Amino acid sequence: MNNGSNTPCLTVALPKGRMADESLKFLREAGVSIPSSHHDGSKLIVESADGQYAYFLVKPTDVATFVEYGAADVGICGLDKLRENACNVYEPLLLPFNYCRLSLCGPAERSSTPLRYETQPRVVSTYPNLTMEFFRQRGINAEVIKLNGSVELGPLVGLADLIVDIVQSGKTLRDNGLVEIRTILDVQAVFIVNRSSYRLKSHAVQQMLTALKKAIHGRDN
């Protein structure tokens, strides 16, 4: 797939769901050609209108893996997923959307207890690696249980003492009697590049990077 010129086509991995819409909106704002529609699930790879880019949507947790192993040249993912999976990719640019935070949370009555007084707390999270590292750095021997969703249920049903989860407005926490105790990671979207593609397709990668940087600068002014 190419655009009919000497410029190589870049394959672009995007996360499914709301973040795909945000990513495509920002790419369009940057003047990067995008597909006319990405809602038709029958096609797994969709070219941009000018043929310069080929896009595919994958699970948010898989974007960095596709880029790391060269199935995609570049991608957009959340910083939380990138840090959790510790993928070996270039991270040349943070993008101005998908702002949230990965936080340690627990029942309101527990929030005043200093972490150093915690003895082997049980913690549920969809981010076991980041959670374990957070407690390890503080010398706390936490038992971390991985869940794929509904982690707020953990303290409510006695599965865990604490949770580590993504927080935006905090409404779900409040509705379930939970509060934020500590921010572990400030999160936003990040543009990532496969290490080989960064060299072999440097012109196309730099073109996209320049366009994204200009769009960020335009938002700031």
Task: Label residue 219 exposed, middle or buried (CB < 10 Å: 0-12, 13-18, 19+).
Answer: exposed
> What is the model's pLDDT at position 44?
82
As given in the structure block, the two tokens for residue 166 are 């993504």
> What is the model's pLDDT at position 8?
45
> What is the model's pLDDT at position 3?
47
Q: Which listed CATH number (3.40.190.10, 3.30.420.40, 1.10.3720.10, 3.40.720.10) goes with 100-186?
A: 3.40.190.10
> What is the model's pLDDT at position 6?
44
- Predicted TM-score (pTM) of the model is 0.89
Straight-line distance from the first to the last Cα atom of the chain, in angstroms, rounded to the nearest whole number: 36
For the chain, what are the domain ranges? 10-99+187-220, 100-186
- Mean pLDDT, 10 residues at a time, over the chain (221 residues)? 55 94 96 78 81 93 97 97 96 97 92 71 97 94 94 95 94 93 97 97 95 90 68
> What is the model's pLDDT at position 1?
44
Measure the CA–CA gap between 139 and 134, rounded to whole angstroms: 9
